[in-house]
Amino acid sequence: MLLYRNFGKTNELVSVLGFGCMRLPLIGSDPTNIDEEKAISMLRYAIDAGVNYVDTAYPYHGTGFTHGGASEPFVAKALKDGYRERVKLATKLPSWLIKTRADMDKYLNEQLARLETDSIDFYLVHSLNGGTWPVLKEAGISEFLDQAIKDGRIKYAGFSFHDQAELFKEIVDYYDWSFCQIQYNYLDEDYQAGKEGLEYAASKGLGIAIMEPLRGGNITNLPQAAIDILDQAEVKRTPAEWALRWVWNHSEVSVVLSGMTTMEQVVENVKVAQAAQAHSLNAKELGLIDAVKNVFQERIKVNCTGCSYCMPCPAGINIPTCFSMYNDHWVFDGTPAAKERYTILSKLAAPASKCVECGKCESHCPQGITIREELKNVTALFE
């Protein structure tokens, strides 16, 4: 049986596993062409198993950040036949498109129509950082959220965050938020909001949703040195289970979002979520994860989660894939497979050397990566 936790001051019970609709299966390589038959089966399997938190956003499964992607309309279709009534639906205001108070209503109303619902349970201001936050304050974000709650278009207001811990605390204290969403995994304990932000938000009564628990899947592919460490454990678990259990071990966490791409991932995550008690990992197990963390930290060169916020690149470079292959080279002991994959990629998309250094990608990167410089490193290694 799936486990549930209290979602902060909302007093709603949410499943410890949430279904993130950002990495759904595709037909071909077009991010807007969701394989709806597979994806609907996956989402409904999860809901039938007890998952009641479904997370999407305005740009997910789109080709850029100025128009709505395919994820929200897909979710509307998947939640027909009585499934909408069985879940808490979360989506997000595209903060980077907001310039005026009227913009906020415009996008919320558009999202309600795209999702074919009269009310959104958990509405987040998306991807807050030092660039978007001052604009939103000036435009009247507090008044907007108050009004949207009052007129019933949203039930609870929250925000997702990609910046430093001090700004996170400022935002927490600015408005009477019900919940927040932060990036957290065993590699990112001290990154962005991190553990400091997790504990601060919990102390203020906020429900806490966690994104990137597997760091875009990167910490499911362990180097041999890390595998050898986890083999010392008395209880055998997959790398994904170790990573998820580490996040769920924190009592401050309410729900962990996983962007699942295959039914196999859904089945495994649902199974793991049935034993996701807080404080259930013992000291030896936590020590093993710390040792794995050290292996990764010594090897990872680019802190990319594969979120694709940097895409599309005007020069045609597949930036996340370039960084994935670059990291693979270093993490997996210089495996020749990384360069082989890069050679294939260079025939399908522009190589890293085609970067024109426009900087558009860096303005959207939630990890703050100096993408232009890192692409030069990719070029030096592979080309």
pLDDT tens digit sequence for 171-205: 999 999 999 999 999 988 988 899 999 999 999 99
The pLDDT of residue 175 is: 98
User: Distance between CA atoms of 99 and 91, rounded to whole angstroms?
Assistant: 19
User: Distance between CA atoms of 22 and 45, rounded to whole angstroms?
Assistant: 17
Share of the chain above pLDDT 70, in %: 100
pLDDT higher than 80, residue 1: yes
Q: In this structure, how many other beta carbons lie within 10 angstroms of the beta carbon of residue 102?
A: 12
Average pLDDT over residues 23-48: 97
Give domain 4-297's CATH number out of 3.30.10.20, 1.10.10.10, 3.40.50.150, 3.20.20.100. 3.20.20.100
Average pLDDT over residues 370-374: 96
pLDDT higher than 90, residue 346: no
> Residue 147 has which token pair?
């009004």
Cα–Cα distance list, 192 to 8, 161, 301, 307 (Å): 21, 8, 17, 15
- Those residues whose C-beta lies under 8 Å from the C-beta of residue 125, and which sit 6 or more positions away, are 92, 93, 95, 136, 141, 145, 157, 158, 159, 160
Residue 24: which of 78, 66, 64, 68 has the closest Cα? 78
Dihedral over Cα of 145, 146, 149, 155: its sign: positive
The pLDDT of residue 335 is: 78
The pLDDT of residue 324 is: 85
User: Distance between CA atoms of 76 and 89, rounded to whole angstroms?
Assistant: 10
Residue predicted with more confidence, 306 or 137 = 137
The pLDDT of residue 105 is: 98
So where are the chain's domains? 4-297, 319-382
The pLDDT of residue 217 is: 80
What is the average pLDDT score of the chain? 94
Average pLDDT over residues 323-329: 88
pLDDT higher than 90, residue 328: no
